[in-house]
Amino acid sequence: MTVLVAYASALGSTREIAQHVASRMAAALGEVECRSVDEVESVAGYEAVLVGSAIHNQAWLPPAVQFLSQHAPGLAERPVWAFSVGMADGLPKLFRNRGAVLQQQRLEQTQFQDVQLRGHAVFSGVYQASQLPAVLRALFRLTGGRFGDLRDWAAVDAWTDQVTAELTKSDLP
Ligand SMILES: Cc1cc2nc3c(=O)[nH]c(=O)nc-3n(C[C@H](O)[C@H](O)[C@H](O)COP(=O)(O)O)c2cc1C
């Protein structure tokens, strides 16, 4: 079975999550290719596709949105999972859980209309203080926001194993 893990990443943290997912999955399934969405010409050669994007301003990066619409017919014929990488765990505590739920809902309502997903995970990524202007940075910290590498590799592994288990079921696609 050949699985594609495609990603769109602005600063690299989503790419590293995609590479981690792909290598963990390869250990269980054999052939898994990890590519930037820009590099994928067709999904025809893959039995399943995982596609992930960094979240910017409550939306996927444009190349990932384009990937979904450009490959919609091919994606409709195979199982597809999505993952989004944002900063939910860095939000001030007051908004953290509610903010994560609302963002996930918004992404599902706005980004995935062209494709039927088997699942969608949202992971925390890397959010650096230098990404915000000084005033907003101070405000963010004062209200309990956190910067740093907030990636939860155990959560990524658990999701990868869940997708792998679904892929090894015999009734695909
Ligand atoms: C300009 C900008 C906008 C962002 N907007 C959001 C957002 O709306 N929601 C969110 O959860 N994270 C947001 N983030 C956080 C990033 O998604 C997070 O840092 C992620 O790890 C970036 O992935 P990348 O390193 O692959 O680019 C934003 C980051 C930047 C730089």
Stronger pLDDT, 163 or 89, i.e. the higher one:
163
pLDDT at residue 173, rounded to an integer: 59
- Residues 148-161: tens digit of each pLDDT: 999 999 999 999 99
pLDDT at residue 88, rounded to an integer: 85
10 lines ligand 1 (CB under 6 A): yes
In a domain, 172, yes or no: no
Whole-number Å distance between alpha carbons of 49 and 60: 17
53 lines ligand 1 (CB under 6 A): no
Question: Ligand 1 mean position to 74 CA, how many Å?
Answer: 28
Query: What DSSP letter does each residue of the chain carry, written as one string?
Result: --EEEEEE-SSSHHHHHHHHHHHHHHHHHS-EEEEEGGG-S-STT-SEEEEEEEEETTEE-HHHHHHHHHTHHHHTTS-EEEEEEE-GGGS-HHHHHHHHHHHHHHHHHHT-TTS--SEEEEEE-EE-GGGS-HHHHHHHHHTT---EE---HHHHHHHHHHHHHHHTSTT--
* Mean pLDDT, rounded, for 98-116: 91
Indicate which residue's Cα is closest to atom 30 of ligand 1: 56
Per-residue pLDDT band for 92 (boundaries 50, 70, 90) equals: confident
Domain span at residue 74?
Answer: 3-167
11 lines ligand 1 (CB under 6 A): yes
In a domain, 88, yes or no: yes
* Mean pLDDT, rounded, for 39-47: 97
In a domain, 173, yes or no: no
Closest ligand 1 atom number to CA of residue 8:
26
Ranking 10-19, 31-40, 113-122 by mean pLDDT, the lowest is: 113-122
| Substitution candidate for ligand 1 out of 16, 37, 55 with most atoms within 8 A of CB | 55
| pLDDT > 60? residue 171 | no
Total number of domains in the chain: 1
In a domain, 142, yes or no: yes
In a domain, 145, yes or no: yes
Indicate which residue's Cα is closest to atom 16 of ligand 1: 86
pLDDT at residue 157, rounded to an integer: 98
Indicate which residue's Cα is closest to atom 5 of ligand 1: 56
pLDDT at residue 131, rounded to an integer: 87
* CATH for 51: 3.40.50.360
- Residues 44-91: tens digit of each pLDDT: 999 999 999 999 999 999 999 999 999 999 999 999 999 999 998 888
Whole-number Å distance between alpha carbons of 3 and 122: 20
Interhelix angle 153-167/13-29, rounded to 10 degrees, is: 40
pLDDT over 90 percentage in the chain: 85
In a domain, 102, yes or no: yes
Stronger pLDDT, 172 or 47, i.e. the higher one:
47
| pLDDT > 90? residue 94 | no
| Substitution candidate for ligand 1 out of 9, 11, 89, 97 with most atoms within 8 A of CB | 11
Whole-number Å distance between alpha carbons of 157 and 150: 15
